[in-house]
Amino acid sequence: MDNFVFSNPTKIVFGTGVEMQAGTEVKPFSDRVLLHFGGGSAVRSGLLSRIRESLVATGIHCVELGGVEPNPRLSLVREGIALCRREKLSFILALGGGSVIDSAKAIAVGVPYAGDVWDFFDYSTQPATALPVGAVLTIPAAGSESSSRSVISNTEMQLKRSVTTDLIRPRFALMNPELTYTLPPFQSACGIADIMSHVMERYFTNTRDVELTDRLCEAALRTVIVSAPSVMCDPCCYAARAEIMWTGSIAHNDLLNTGREGDWASHAIGHELSAFYDAIHGAGLAVIFPAWMKFVYRHDLARFAQFANRVWEVEMDHFNPEKTALEGIRRMELFFHSLGLPATLSDMGIPDDRFAEIATKCTVRGKGTTGKFVKLDPKAVIAILTLAK
Ligand code: NZQ
Ligand code: ZN
């Protein structure tokens, strides 16, 4: 096990009705707030007006900015920064999923910065300070509600890039599983694929002696696998929605990578698919992860056989661990398929004519590699994309 520091101070308030605590949670930070939300689900469900009510009841002045799109845009982030400055807002409350929360985080680092906020995303500089952010989560997926990351799309440059700093970890996350009842089945499925990917990016590691975190990862995966069918059959199943929602945070709050190195190549490739084709994050991962696995499994057959056995309940064939490993990958593909997720890039409408460009972009302009479990050069990335097509 590697040395590590684990600190995740996001306060989680979980359960029915917790969104009505928005006012009391925000109040210690500010009484002038930007209420940030997406394309309409929060308006349609009545959540936005309930939150507004809770803020106003606590004497908080709020200004609203909706319209965050999946793969959140830099242009709206810039608009949010200008709005916060003009209205002297000093807290950002995000109402939504990863896209809204990431947009809120980007605004938070942009407001106190004299330059352009994209400087943080192209790694020219690191944020020195940020406005505080809070989240009311409506879709379990990205884990942004307690992560230190914001991922933003720059459509002009066809880039999707992230900034990582503890300054943007939400101060609190209000998590009511009932708020996820209105999710369309496909969005629930994409969220599930993303949650599982966050665990698997951590699970496939070269670090030795990590039994506890292996077992925690396996428990997180099993919980999602067992709960997913209930959510797909009955969108209002509180028990299953609650399991998935909490697993979504645990999957990405850094606990599962304590003392071990993660991989993250599938995410890097997935982000390029979003940058080029506006691909939905979780759907892209459902296609790329199995292809990545088929490309790298021989690197550590024992780990892949363990994954198959403990996560997918494949009987261990000690004489033929490769067979066990491949059956695990196959069961994962079947599982994604059962949720209605795409199996190939062509299912997603993604053609095969820009693989070289994608590979160059996610390997430091073709001069480096991506991933840690197996370091992938551009040729390897093209091979994975070819397996996924
Ligand atoms: O915009 P609205 O109308 O709200 O609709 C959204 C959106 O279309 C809808 N939705 C959300 N909650 C709903 C709902 N519809 C009905 N009922 C509800 N309760 O779902 C759609 C997707 O929302 P989005 O926020 O895009 O989903 P997700 O949480 O999957 O976020 C994806 C983004 O997070 C980034 C991804 O790259 C992607 O841009 N990630 C952020 C990470 C982080 N900050 O740590 C890590 C992740 O790996 C990921 O990269
Ligand atoms: Zn993700």
Task: For residue 5, report the distance from its CA to the centre of ligand 2, in Å.
Answer: 22
Q: Distance between alpha carbon 206 and the CA centroid of its chain, in Å? A: 23
Tell me the C-alpha distance between 288 and 140, whole Å. Answer: 20
C-alpha distance from residue 63 to each of 34, 91, 223 (Å) = 5, 11, 39
Tell me the C-alpha distance between 83 and 131, whole Å. Answer: 13
As given in the structure block, the two tokens for residue 279 are 């691909």
Q: In 10 A of CB 163, how many CB atoms?
A: 25
Task: For residue 287, report the distance from its CA to the centre of ligand 2, in Å.
Answer: 13
Task: For residue 343, report the distance from its CA to the centre of ligand 2, in Å.
Answer: 17
Half-sphere exposure of 243 (CA within 13 A, CB side): 18
CB of 97 sitting under 6 A from ligand 1: yes
What would the DSSP string read from start to end of 198-220?
HHHHHHS-S----HHHHHHHHHH
Helices assigned H by DSSP within the chain = 22-26, 41-44, 47-57, 74-87, 98-110, 118-121, 185-203, 211-233, 238-250, 265-277, 281-296, 301-312, 321-338, 355-361, 378-388
Tell me the C-alpha distance between 294 and 297, whole Å. Answer: 6
Of 339, 341, 338, 248, nearest to 287 (Cα)?
341
Residue in the block written with tokens 């990862």: 217
- In three-state secondary structure terms, 62 is strand
- Give helix 238-250 / helix 185-203 axis angle, nearest 10°: 40
Tell me the C-alpha distance between 149 and 102, whole Å. Answer: 7
Task: For residue 210, report the distance from its CA to the centre of ligand 1, in Å.
Answer: 31
Q: 73, 138, 139, 154: which to mutate for ligand 1, most atoms within 8 A of CB? A: 139
pLDDT of residue 8: 97
Task: For residue 337, report the distance from its CA to the centre of ligand 2, in Å.
Answer: 18
* 252 contacts: CB under 8 Å, gap ≥ 6: 142, 143, 144, 146, 147, 195, 198
pLDDT of residue 121: 97
CB of 262 sitting under 6 A from ligand 1: no
Tell me the C-alpha distance between 275 and 74, whole Å. Answer: 12
Tens-digit pLDDT profile for residues 95-122: 999 999 999 999 999 999 999 999 999 9
Asked if 28 contacts 132 with a C-beta cutoff of 8 angstroms, the reply is: no
Q: 281, 289, 341, 362: which to mutate for ligand 1, most atoms within 8 A of CB? A: 281
- In three-state secondary structure terms, 30 is coil
Asked if 143 contacts 254 with a C-beta cutoff of 8 angstroms, the reply is: no
**Ligand nearest 196 Cα, by number?**
2
pLDDT of residue 112: 98
- In three-state secondary structure terms, 344 is coil
**Which residues of the chain are under the pLDDT cut of 70?**
none
**Ligand nearest 286 Cα, by number?**
2
C-alpha distance from residue 161 to each of 139, 275, 317, 355 (Å) = 21, 9, 42, 19
Find the distance separating the first CA and the last CA of the chain, reported in whole Å. 37
Residue with CA closest to ligand 1 atom 18: 183
**Is the pTM here over 0.85, yes or no?**
yes
**Ligand nearest 137 Cα, by number?**
1
Task: For residue 208, report the distance from its CA to the centre of ligand 1, in Å.
Answer: 34
Residue with CA closest to ligand 1 atom 35: 98
Q: 144, 174, 190, 257: which to mutate for ligand 1, most atoms within 8 A of CB? A: 144
CB of 138 sitting under 6 A from ligand 1: yes
Task: For residue 87, report the distance from its CA to the centre of ligand 1, in Å.
Answer: 27
C-alpha distance from residue 208 to each of 312, 364, 389 (Å) = 22, 28, 33
Atom of ligand 1 nearest to the CA of 271: 37
C-alpha distance from residue 29 to each of 90, 101, 134, 192 (Å) = 8, 17, 10, 33
pLDDT of residue 276: 96
Tell me the C-alpha distance between 82 and 341, whole Å. Answer: 38
pLDDT of residue 344: 98
Tell me the C-alpha distance between 370 and 368, whole Å. Answer: 7
CB of 67 sitting under 6 A from ligand 1: no
